[in-house]
Structure 1
Amino acid sequence: MAVYLFNKMAFSSVYQKYMIPVSNEIVNMVLSYVKIKTDGRPLEIAVDVGCGSGRYTVPLAPHFKKVLGVDISESQINVAKQHTLANNVSYMVAAAEKLPIKDSSVDLVNAALAAHWFTVNKFAREAVRVLKTRGCLAAHAFYPSTEIEHKDLSHDLTTVMSEVWHTLSQHKVKTLEYMLCRYQNIYEAVPLKDKEWITDIPVTIQMSLPELIGFFQSVIMYQVFREKDPKEAQQFLVQTEKRLQNILGEEAYSVQLNVNMTYYCVLACKY
């Protein structure tokens, strides 16, 4: 399984630097859901499972007394520690399917861009085990498709993006199937009656051309491609950047592009 790539420090650093920014829309959706379901009680503990480099762990810190980030990759945890300043955030190397957490002790179990890597049924049961009564589970990710809007160049830019995803999909891993089905399998696996499956959540992110090329490098499918053929993978990046540069012209490296993503989210509450 390509999950071993997350144990490489070089990839962990690339992931931290270039993976698309945290979606405030998703964070706010999760927090609003938790506050409604917990009926306004003080929020004590959140656990960010598959936290990676802590990109979705840190935004939870202002809203909970304590936040714990958990990931199976030691290199990801090390990067997370380097980029976290909040005093109420800590990290631990552990599997999503066997959390070192007491029963009924957690207000939120969050899994951001991660649940497709888990053994879904085991993770869902483990999440329910650690949740308090009225505690919540949130699992969310984005669909591997991207539209770019910029002046009258949107069609040409989006065409390039479609071809990028087509190329990367040739190096797909099994977990991509979970992303393509927008976490329907995760929704069905959650053994709780009170649950929601929200698809087609539009999120727009502004990115420069170098940030966009960096984003491609942070995608696991590109890393699989790079493992198979480093020279061809690098050439793919160079050619893609050149195509986008030609479309954008003189402003290629000064403009901020509107990158339109589609997110989805599974939410559940334990009663």
Structure 2
Amino acid sequence: MASQVFKNKTFSSVYHKYMIPISKETLNMVLSFVQGKRNGQPLEMAVDVGCGTGRYTIPLAPHFKKVLGIDFSKAQINLANQYNLLDNVSYMVAPAEKLPIENDSVDLLNAGLAAHFFRVDEFASEAVRVLKKKGCLAVHGLYPACDIEYKDLSHDLTVVMSEVWKILYQHADKSKDHLLCQYESIYEVIPLKDKQLITDIPVKFQMSFPEIIEFIQAVYMFQIFLEKDVKKAEQFLKQIEKRFQDILGENADSVRLNVNVKHYCVLARKD
């Protein structure tokens, strides 16, 4: 099962270091939604489910009195605790389908790039249980593809990345289906009337080509590939690295590339 990859200590470190940046655009959308639905009431409690090493947990901290990050992986939570310097943030090991939280106690239940690994129907029931009246649910993810822009080389670079994802898809499990439909399947399961699905949220950031190679290693599908056949996975990575170098030329390592990705977000409020 793909989610088991995240229990690996070595991979948890790779994921923390090399996963692409979070979407500030999506985070701002979530916060705006919560603040609007709470009608100016103080935001006391946020819970970040499938928090990993705290990539979305920490940015939530300035907006809530208390933030709790929950993940089923002890390795991920250990790293999250290692990097946590905030008094109002804490972490706990627990499954998304059985949250150790009191009924009607949460202002925001957030899941960033994680819900596709959950048993979604069980998680949705837990969300309804723990949310306060007018409490909000936000689940958001990243479309597993990207375009790369750099001068007149954009087409060739994007072709390489498309081929990367084509190979990685071969090592995906059913969680990929949630990603490819931009969480429409998750949206349909959530039993709240006040809900919306926002797709194709454009996000742009810069990376070097070595950072892109590191990002590929932080994708769970590559880790499954690595477990299946170390030699082939490493060879694949070297081939991609060479193709980037051939396209970018002698200054390949120092070039900053624009990377375009699509995020999507399901937002809902409990009546």
Q: Following the alignment from structure 1 to structure 2, what is the Cα–Cα distance between the partners of residues 212 and 87?
A: 33
Q: AA paired with 1:17?
A: K
The worse-fitting range, judged by mean Cα deviation, of 69-78 and 166-175 is 166-175
Q: Following the alignment from structure 1 to structure 2, what is the Cα–Cα distance between the partners of residues 234 and 186?
A: 34
**Aligned residue in 1 for 2:102:** 102
SS at match of 2:223: helix
**Aligned residue in 2 for 1:34:** 34
**Aligned residue in 2 for 1:207:** 207
Task: Write out aligned runs for 1:21-100 (5 A).
Answer: 21-100=21-100
Shift of 1:42: 0.9
Unaligned runs of 5+ residues in structure 1 are: none
**Aligned residue in 2 for 1:115:** 115
**8 Å contact 2:60–2:67 — kept in the other structure?**
yes
Shift of 1:106: 0.4
Q: Following the alignment from structure 1 to structure 2, what is the Cα–Cα distance between the partners of residues 92 and 208?
A: 34
Q: Following the alignment from structure 1 to structure 2, what is the Cα–Cα distance between the partners of residues 217 and 173?
A: 17
SS at match of 2:240: helix
Q: Following the alignment from structure 1 to structure 2, what is the Cα–Cα distance between the partners of residues 178 and 78?
A: 28
Q: Following the alignment from structure 1 to structure 2, what is the Cα–Cα distance between the partners of residues 199 and 235?
A: 35
Shift of 1:39: 0.7
Q: Following the alignment from structure 2 to structure 1, what is the Cα–Cα distance between the partners of residues 136 and 242?
A: 45
**Aligned residue in 1 for 2:8:** 8
Q: Following the alignment from structure 1 to structure 2, what is the Cα–Cα distance between the partners of residues 58 and 245?
A: 35
Task: Write out aligned runs for 1:99-248 (5 A).
Answer: 99-248=99-248
Shift of 1:250: 2.1
SS at match of 2:46: strand
**8 Å contact 2:46–2:110 — kept in the other structure?**
yes
Q: Following the alignment from structure 2 to structure 1, what is the Cα–Cα distance between the partners of residues 150 and 216?
A: 19
Q: Following the alignment from structure 2 to structure 1, what is the Cα–Cα distance between the partners of residues 111 and 144?
A: 17
Q: AA paired with 1:237?
A: L
**8 Å contact 2:2–2:172 — kept in the other structure?**
no
Shift of 1:242: 1.0
Shift of 1:129: 0.7
Q: Following the alignment from structure 1 to structure 2, what is the Cα–Cα distance between the partners of residues 230 and 83?
A: 30
Q: AA paired with 1:151?
A: K
Render the CA deviation track for 1:109-168: whole Å, top value 9, x for unaligned: 000000000000110110111001111000000111110001110000000000000111
Render the CA deviation track for 1:32-75: whole Å, top value 9, x for unaligned: 01000001111000000000111111000000000000000000
Q: AA paired with 1:170?
A: Q
SS at match of 2:254: coil
Q: Following the alignment from structure 2 to structure 1, what is the Cα–Cα distance between the partners of residues 56 and 241?
A: 28
SS at match of 1:123: helix
Sequence identity (%): 65
Shift of 1:245: 1.1
SS at match of 2:103: coil
SS at match of 1:59: helix
Q: Following the alignment from structure 2 to structure 1, what is the Cα–Cα distance between the partners of residues 145 and 136?
A: 28
Shift of 1:251: 2.1
Shift of 1:104: 0.5
Render the CA deviation track for 1:163-218: whole Å, top value 9, x for unaligned: 00011111111110111111111101111100000111110121111110111001
Give the TM-score, by structure 1 length: 0.99
**Coordinate RMSD, CA, aligned:** 0.7
Give the TM-score, by structure 2 length: 0.99
SS at match of 2:233: helix
Q: Following the alignment from structure 1 to structure 2, what is the Cα–Cα distance between the partners of residues 123 and 161?
A: 33
